[in-house]
Amino acid sequence: MHFTLLIQPCGPVSFDLISRIQEDLELNVNIEVLTSTETLIPPMLYYDWYRRQYLASKILDWLFDKLGKLGYDRVLGVCGVDAYVPPLNFVFGLADPIKGVALVFLPRLKPEFYGEKRDFEKFYRRTFKEVLHEVGHTFGLEHCSNRKCVMSFSNSVLNVDFKEAAFCGKCLGKLSRAGLIVSKELMLH
């Protein structure tokens, strides 16, 4: 099966990060990945001034309304803004398998958010795990009970660091049935 995925930068996002996500997805998953050359800025209408965060579900719907009819099988918004979904204080990402849209929110994946020194590799590893997680949701995967599987739920950055950038056998089987093939690099051993 042939799938297309559009990576859409939303807010302040580095081109180096986006291009590396594109490269790693294309190397490891049977998806044709395209990157939008336009950066979209989420509307302030969805910004909660008290919380200083965006409402993630509204950004997801907004992105679908803007890009859902362009013919891509999946859309991945990589967002340089912080977001939440009630009742949670924040989310690293959000996805809608019906719409085929996923979002990854970058601020809380950065080491400097936690008072650590800037570390692009650590930030990238966290980001790629969340990209795989949210794209997995768009192919029908739910949260996995295997804490090492990339599909396990992360309610802190420690959970993100603990899990692997790889799918367990159960999740791999579901992806395969959905037509998505992943390389051995993304298979949990």
pTM of the model: 0.97
Q: Kind and range of the H or E element at 126?
A: helix 120-138
What separation in angstroms does the CA of 84 have from each of 40, 45, 81? Answer: 19, 15, 10
Q: What is the pLDDT of residue 189?
A: 86
Q: What is the DSSP letter of 149?
A: S
Pair of tokens at residue 70: 């362009």
Q: For residue range 139-177, list pLDDT tens digits in order.
A: 999 999 999 999 999 999 999 999 999 999 999 999 999
Q: What is the pLDDT of residue 48?
A: 97
Fold exhibited by the domain 3-186: Collagenase (Catalytic Domain) (3.40.390)
Burial 30-59 (b: 16+ CB within 10 A, else e): ebebebbeeebebeeebbeeeeebbbbbbb
Q: Would you kindly state where each structural domain of the chain is located, as residue ranges?
A: 3-186
The reply to whether 23 belongs to the active site is no
Q: What is the pLDDT of residue 166?
A: 98
Residue numbers of the chain with a pLDDT score lower than 70: none
Q: Which of 116, 134, 142, 185 is catalytic?
A: 134
